[in-house]
Structure 1
Amino acid sequence: MTDKTELAEERTEWAEDRTVLANERTFAAWLHTSMAAIALAVGLKAVFAPTEPTWIAKSVASVFIAVSIILSTAALRQAIRTNRRLHSFAAKPQPLVVFRVITAVMMAGALLVGWLLWAL
């Protein structure tokens, strides 16, 4: 191989490693947004708790719980799709099970918060 070819391949490897890391940062950003939706649901329920009938505040809060679950699911799907397309060299991507476990915990937490909003 020529020096130019080797340099080009090295730059490509670095670019793919950066993409692996960017994929993980993007997944984290989606989950942050998901957590913000849960916080918004709790806040709405707290602010509008005195509202009668109570199901109105609970329903609006539940919309944001659903948004949180949708965001978590979308984050997982996109992270897995991107992870499968990449070939890392120096940066090792998180195993797919890590993405799945984190998403499952987030979704379980969102469902638990939703249940608590309706139970209280």
Structure 2
Amino acid sequence: MDNHDAKNGNQLAADRTDLAEDRTILANERTFAGWMRTGLACIGIGVGFNVLFDTLAPTWVPKAVATAFILIGVFIFWAAERRACKVLARLDTHHVSEFGGIDLRAIATVLSAGALVVAIGLWLLN
């Protein structure tokens, strides 16, 4: 094996490593999206619980359970954002464009704000 073949082999190995890193970044984004869906499902469960059991006495019980589910959803949003940002900090993109940490934070912030508005609305509406 001459020096030229060794350089080509090293370049192919580097290309494979770069592509694997890109796939890991894309998998991280899919995982983040999955956690966002899980958080939204928690919010939906909370709202649904409140609607189904709004006739329970005392009236604060279904609201408290719904609020607990909503807060779990908010926790999931922020846990997913933290974890995704940690992964992004360790990796570099090569052939794909990534969501940045600010984008992930913006998504978590907007969804959290919406969830908190829903929770406040549950308590203010009769």
TM band (smaller chain): over 0.9
Cα distance in 1 for residues equivalent to 2:67 and 2:100: 32
Q: CA deviation at 1:95?
A: 2.0
Counterpart pick for 1:12 among 10, 17, 41: 17
Matching of residue 65 in structure 1 with residue 66 in structure 2: no
- Summarize deviations over 1:7-49 as a string: whole Å, max 9, x none: 1111100000001111111111110001001100110000000
Letter in 1 for 2:31: T
Q: Residue 30 of structure 1 aligns to a residue in which SS?
A: helix
Q: CA deviation at 1:99?
A: 0.7
The unaligned stretches of length 5 or more in structure 2 are 1-5
The 5 A counterparts of 1:1-120 are 1-120=6-125
The answer for the alignment partner of 2:3 in structure 1 is none
Q: CA deviation at 1:3?
A: 2.5
Cα distance in 1 for residues equivalent to 2:83 and 2:12: 30
Q: TM-score, normalised by structure 1?
A: 0.96
Q: Which runs of 4+ in 1 moved over 4 A?
A: none
Q: TM-score, normalised by structure 2?
A: 0.91
CA RMSD of aligned residues (A): 1.0
The unaligned stretches of length 5 or more in structure 1 are none
Q: CA deviation at 1:2?
A: 2.6
Q: CA deviation at 1:101?
A: 0.8
**Number of aligned residue pairs:** 120
Q: CA deviation at 1:72?
A: 0.3
